[in-house]
Amino acid sequence: AQTVTQSQPEMSVQEAETVTLSCTYDTSESDYYLFWYKQPPSRQMILVIRQEAYKQQNATENRFSVNFQKAAKSFSLKISDSQLGDAAMYFCAYSGGSNYKLTFGKGTLLTVNP
Amino acid sequence: NAGVMQNPRHLVRRRGQEARLRCSPMKGHSHVYWYRQLPEEGLKFMVYLQKENIIDESGMPKERFSAEFPKEGPSILRIQQVVRGDSAAYFCASSPEGIPYSGYTFGSGTRLTVV
């Protein structure tokens, strides 16, 4: 069974600084998708960024980028120029290439200090 | 284009009562998924439905839980005879197809509290 591990229960960053959230996963599949979701206090699950495993190029969405290391099964999220609105719980998620189920990690609570 | 709509946002039930959670998918989305988030945990898959069909309910507890997605109207997650352990946030997600190429769109969830 696939598992997703987020080893940092909590992280903090100063406003305008950069922070990296870690995620590792375990799978025997070669084709899959990886996601980072943000959950602010409103509880809404917001898709931040996605990565297809067959793509070697790391995904980027504005201030958010990933470091995808397929061999190491690592998928970290880098947030540049952190803003107060980035404060939230961040979840890493995995989906097999032909599987509709998302497997989530336990989340990392990010605090942004002014 | 409204997103995934879930209601109610908060639901309080006494032990032994029934809870009904509703989910209207995004316009054009015919695939609906229910996930449960227990305190301090990530979301866990419960059930996958298409219109009038349950595709996969492998994440649903065997008793007291059921789900439907009728031809007309929202998807319903029903929990009979609720117990304290059912207290959680229940999220619905939808997609235009059954594989999350683009990632799912989630609703804001229903927080169920059993007292």
- The per-residue DSSP string of B55-100 comes to EE-TTS-SSSEEEE--SSS-EEEEE-S--GGG-EEEEEEEESSSS-
Query: Per mean pLDDT, which range of A16-20, A49-53, A56-60, B98-102 is the poorest?
Result: B98-102
* Per-residue pLDDT reduced to its tens digit, B32-41: 999 999 988 8
pLDDT for B80 beyond 70: yes
- Angle CA(B31)–CA(B99)–CA(A21) in degrees, nearest 5? 110
pLDDT for B92 beyond 90: yes
* Per-residue pLDDT reduced to its tens digit, A69-87: 999 999 999 999 999 999 9
**A33 CA to chain B: closest CA distance, Å?**
7
B103/A47 CB distance under 8 A:
yes
Helix (H) or strand (E) holding B48: strand B43-50
pLDDT for B10 beyond 90: yes
The β-bridge relationship of strands A108-113 and A10-14 is parallel
pLDDT for A2 beyond 90: no
Per-residue pLDDT, A105: 96
User: What rounded mean pLDDT belongs to chain A?
Assistant: 93
Q: In this structure, are residues B26 and B2 in contact, taking their beta carbons and an 8 Å threshold?
A: yes
Per-residue pLDDT, B42: 87
The residues that bridge with B23 in the sheet, in sequence order, are B6, B75
pLDDT for B115 beyond 80: yes
3-class secondary structure, B34: strand
How far, in Å, CA of A3 to CA of B7, rounded?
30
pLDDT for A29 beyond 70: yes
**Contacts with A, B 51-80, CB within 8 Å:** 55-56, 59
Per-residue pLDDT, B95: 86
* Per-residue pLDDT reduced to its tens digit, A39-64: 999 888 999 999 999 888 999 999 99
Collect all residues of chain A within an 8 Å Cβ-Cβ radius of residue B26. none
A28-41 mean pLDDT: 92
* Per-residue pLDDT reduced to its tens digit, B37-66: 998 888 999 999 998 999 999 999 999 999
- Angle CA(B55)–CA(B57)–CA(B63) in degrees, nearest 5? 145
Which residues does A contribute to its contact with B (CB < 8 Å)?
4, 33, 35, 37, 42-47, 50, 91, 93, 95, 97-107
The label of the residue with tokens 């209207």 reads: B24
- Backbone CA torsion sign across A14, A16, A17, A23: positive
B88-99 mean pLDDT: 86
How far, in Å, CA of B103 to CA of B94, rounded?
9
